[in-house]
Amino acid sequence: MNIENTASQMRKGILEFCILSVIKQGEVYPSDIIEKMKSANLNIFEGTLYPLLTRLKNAELLTYRWVESNSGPPRKYFSLTEKGNEFYKELESTWNELSDAVKTITTQNQ
């Protein structure tokens, strides 16, 4: 068993949830998302983020609009769709269940 593999699997499980959370808080563009995740100590490569965003958008959980910027070409600003909102709520409850369960089990061990 590879520790990196397992850890990476854990991360993958929660990445989508975290990204959706950030977007839920307000309309953002990708580098904002990276910043916010960084400040919460969850580092993610832009190369990982962009494909995820695209997938979520293709699944109609996200939508974006182009916003002109003063320096250079327009940027994409992402926000949650209705579907995305519901999806997020489900993920949130799943996460809560899981994190409670894990907390219980790990504290039982000690």
Partner 1 sequence: MKQVININYHGRIIPIEVTAYEMLKNYTESLQLHFKDEEGKEEIINDIESRISELFQEQLSKGSICITENDVNAIIKSMGKPEELESEPIINHNQSGNTRQEKHSSIPKRLYRDENNKLIGGVCSGLANYFNIDIVIVRIIFIILFFSFGVGLIPYIILWIAVPSTATKEIGSLRKKLYRDTEDKLIAGVCSGLAHYFGINVWIPRTLFLLPLLSLTFEWNHFINVSPSSIVFYIIFWLVMPEAKTTSEKLEMKGEKVDMNSIKNTINEEMKGVKERAENLGAVAGEKIKDIRKDSSSAFKRLINVFIDVIVFIVKFISYTTLTIIGLALVIFLLAMTFASFVAIPFKDYILNGFWQNSFALGTLLFFVILATVGIIVALIKKIAGIKTKNKWVTTTFIALWVLGWISLFGLASTLGNDFSKMSHRDNNEREISISQPTNGKLIVNFNKKPYFYDDKDKEIHFFEALDLFRDSIFIDNVDIKVLRSLDDSFHIRMVNSAHGRTRFAADTTAAAIRINTSQTDSIFTFDQGIFITKKQKFRNQQVAVLISIPVGKSIRLPKSNSIANYDDNVWEFQNWNNEKQTNQEFQMTNEGLMHVEDMNKIDRIDKMNKLDSLIELKKKIQKETAEQGAVPKSI
Q: Which residues bind partner 1 (CB under 8 A)?
A: 8, 11-13, 15-16, 30-31, 44-48, 50-55, 57-59, 71-73, 75-76
Q: Cβ of residue 103: shortest distance to partner 1, in angstroms?
A: 22
**Tally of CA atoms within 13 A in the half-sphere of 90 that contains its CB:** 8
Give the 3-state secondary structure of residue 64: strand
Residue closer to partner 1 (CB basis): 45 or 104? 45
User: Which residue bears the tokens 């520790």?
Assistant: 3
Residue 24's identity, in one-letter code, is K
Q: Cβ of residue 26: shortest distance to partner 1, in angstroms?
A: 20
